Structure 1
Amino acid sequence: MTLPPKPESPKLEPLKFESLDFEPLDEPKHADIAIVCHDIEPYLARFPAVNPASQSPTYPSIFSFSRASITQLEQRSWDLILVESATKQYTAPLIQMQQQSSCSILFINNPSNDRHAITQVCANISAKLYSDEMPNNLDVADMRLFDSINHHLFAFNSLSDAIDFLQSNPSVTVTAALYLAHNVANLAHYQQAMADLAANLNDNCSFFTSMLDTGQGQCSILVCLSAANEQTL
């Protein structure tokens, strides 16, 4: 029996590579964050006025409480504004500004009116939001869960102070909480601190945790309380 001839293998053309011109990726745009405070000096010492390595801001804009500052804030679009212990004189125009824009404004206080703690927490949160430090798990979208004129925001730069406050007010409803650990050298201690704070939060509380090596103070804690608890505070 005669077998049919074996078919010839097709000739393979050499592969041709064309040069590809890739456009460089733009650096991610940092959020535009402003801080309104009573004393700008601690912030000016913390954040540089100019970052020569980048044309985009990598630090928050700082404003002192004044009518001129409110006007400046209104002339620019912001992603997030942190406000330290605002008096009624400035709360009203800021709330009006908030209602007329998509900007999130957080009015931050402390149960003992500890402005040093408020300043440290505002600065540390801003530093984390501008940082690429791992874990890179906190952004402006998370902070918007703390944004409500129907809630109270309290800042603490000490874990024990935050826990003491929550245990002294067991009837409060915490809707959101942030624990930002500083200069973590022991992961077990970090996890224990998270557990200690979580034990004093409501079951349905949105709880955010992260780390910041350059944080000032023992830690940064922000708790959001329902305004329904106003009579108990």
Structure 2
Amino acid sequence: NYFLILLLPLIPFGASFGPLFAHYGTNGIHCWCDMSTAQVWAFFIPIIVVFFITGILAEATASDDYKLFQNTDLYQLNWSLKCDSSIMFLAGWTMFAYFIGLVAMDQQAVWVFVIFELFNLVLGPAVFVVHTMGHYQVAKPMHRKFPFLPFYKDTDPPDSVPNADKPKNKNIDPKPETEEQETDWQHFWSWVTNRNDRNIAQESEDVLFRKVPR
């Protein structure tokens, strides 16, 4: 996994270096990304793709957690679900901070740099919280030291898988039980196995067209 992280940036770099070779390097004004050139897609699209992949993996992890509910420790499951949601928040915050940094470097505007720094001030503690809250043995003493922080609070684990054993509509009454009615199967069996050819028409009418008692 560590080597894969180092190799992933080579994909957008290799795909954009050839077509956008003239835009790479400093031109006296920009030292990162020139927003007025076609170089922008090489800096935006890969980040958006990685964000969506992160979301898919987080949702898949949450689904697997519920599938393994019966064989998983409840507290471990609870903390895993909390981390899935916090990772998506962290990924989105990082992506927007990166985009603001691109605009700040291109526009060279002080107010954009201020917004970028504010995002970074939140991003640093957020990375620490998400990393530590995912480890139950670390989160437990952190909650004792900082009980006012809701991130490390040991919430109760779920009782069961959501919507697993619950009726779809509680307003629908259960199907009423029907009383068993007596049947004249003996007459039918006698007609099939021991028919009298002389009065077959009368027996057939009696069996096949007998009125059902109300």
Q: TM-score range by the shorter chain?
A: under 0.3
Would you tell me which structure has more helix in proportion to its own residues? 2
Structure exhibiting the larger radius of gyration computed from Cα positions? 2
TM norm structure 2: 0.26
Greater RCO (Cα-Cα under 8 Å, separation 6 or more): 1
